Amino acid sequence: MKLIGDFLARFNTLTPPNDAVKGAVADAVSAVLGTHVAKKEIRIQNGTAFVAGSSVMKNALQVKRGEILERLYENLPKTRDSVRDVR
């Protein structure tokens, strides 16, 4: 007889859907930079979250990249597997 833990073990490796990751990135960027960023302005490709915006916002994003990633990992810990950089 198998234990319930054996059946639930497969759910430990699930990653959040792309829409949830985009929402978490948008929330983290908005909180750190103080500007509104919509989910549709974020694209995730090869472990990097690309944020569309003005050059001023992108420069601020580069300066505060570490803060944004820390807040992102606090809010949604599983994103550590899917997002490694924000540009």
Note down pLDDT in tens along the chain; length 87 residues: 678 877 777 777 666 678 888 999 999 999 999 999 999 999 999 889 999 999 999 999 999 999 999 999 999 888 888 889 999
pTM, two decimals, is: 0.79
Closest listed residue to residue 28, CA positions, set 84, 76, 80: 76
Q: In angstroms, rounded to a whole number, what is the distance separating the alpha carbons of residues 31 and 71?
A: 9
Q: In angstroms, rounded to a whole number, what is the distance separating the alpha carbons of residues 77 and 71?
A: 10
The domain segmentation of the chain, as residue ranges, is: 15-86
Residues in the chain: 87
